[in-house]
Amino acid sequence: MTEQERLELFMERIRRGEKIEATDWMPDEYRQLLIKLIHMHAVSEIMGAYPEKEWVPKAPSLRRKLAIMAKVQDEMGHGQLLLRVVEDLAKPLGKNREDLIEDIYHHRVKFHNVFHMEARTWADAGVIGWLVDGAAIINQASLLSTSYGPYARVLKRICAEESFHMQHGENIILALAMGTPEQKRMLQESLDYWWESLLFFFGPPEVTPAAERMLYYRIRTLTNEELRQKFLDKYVPRILSIGLTIPDPQLHYDKELKRWIYTMPDWEKFGEIVKKNNGPKSRERIELRRQAHEGGRWVREAMLTKTAV
């Protein structure tokens, strides 16, 4: 069979809606795109633990303390599941777990813009759960139909857990929204701070060449803009219903165009943050990850030492 024939058969399977498995033949481009996407997803889950980590020790009641610990644990767990998927994909390229983690602090892998931002107050911890995880669910739910089987299966579990996170965040938000004037002010400030990041989260409206290839291989099935519109559909009414103001005077639903019109986030600013890791908290959090990994090397080595047991 020639390379061309193999590729034809592969694309035939994709078009039929079959799932590709880790042990199946796949074109290099497909493998590379998957590694890029899932590695970024895994690392975003892991780096996403840091903004909330800052609020885990400060959760203001026993119930909240237990909930936020479990929530952030889930994020690390998602990172682990996704890394296992990438490990299988990257194995033929000679990369292992150690490399995939080191890539973070060698700036060889990006993570979502929202996790470069500060988590300044307890309300931010709530907004992260409610809207950042809410945005993530929209993105991840759309990936459930991905052509790569192992990713689809892991996403199924992730989506189920993320919907709990969204409820956890919503619960914190509702308590603040119905609380004292101070709590309400804290909440509005938090929304003001996060709004632009949330719009950026889905990426630029134009379909980039890499995104175009992902759509071609059915790794993903919706464009950035379609996902952002879904997010606005779901959350704008909810945000307004609890008495918050969305910090965008342009925001409205255009009935004729059947889409939300919004002020564009500063693509350049957030693009730089993600590409160059120069957001307000990027360096500090990457440093924590480096310390955890490098500082824990002696433990990993010790646990692999053959012993008398």
> Is-contact 246 236, C-beta < 8 A?
yes
Out of 25, 73, 212, 233, name the contact with other proteins by CB under 8 A: 73
Interface mask toward other proteins for 183-202; x: CB under 8 A: x-------------------
Using CA atoms, how far apart are residues 102 and 293, in angstroms rounded to an integer?
Answer: 8
Task: Provide DSSP, 4-37.
Answer: HHHHHHHHHHHHHTPPB-TTS---HHHHHHHHHH
Q: Which one, 230 or 281, has the nearer CB to other proteins?
A: 281
Give yes or no for residue 243 binding other proteins (CB under 8 A).
Answer: no
Distances (CA, A) of 273 to 200, 222, 270, 279, 282: 11, 24, 5, 5, 8
Using CA atoms, how far apart are residues 299 and 303, in angstroms rounded to an integer?
Answer: 6
CB of 49 to other proteins, least distance (A): 5
Alpha helix stretches (DSSP H) within 54-128 = 62-90, 97-105, 122-127
Q: Which one, 26 or 49, has the nearer CB to other proteins?
A: 49
Give yes or no for residue 160 binding other proteins (CB under 8 A).
Answer: no
Using CA atoms, how far apart are residues 101 and 275, in angstroms rounded to an integer?
Answer: 17
- Identify the three-state secondary structure at position 220: coil
* Nearest CA-CA partner of 38 in 22, 15, 49: 22
Out of 11, 69, 159, 215, name the contact with other proteins by CB under 8 A: 69
Q: Which one, 1 or 309, has the nearer CB to other proteins?
A: 309
Give yes or no for residue 50 binding other proteins (CB under 8 A).
Answer: yes
Size of the site for other proteins (CB under 8 A): 51
The one segment of 6-14, 135-143, 168-176, 234-242 that binds other proteins by CB under 8 A: 168-176
List contacts with other proteins (CB under 8 A).
46, 49-50, 53, 55-62, 64-66, 69-70, 72-73, 76-77, 79-80, 83, 122, 172, 175-176, 178-180, 182-183, 288-289, 291-293, 295-303, 305, 307-309
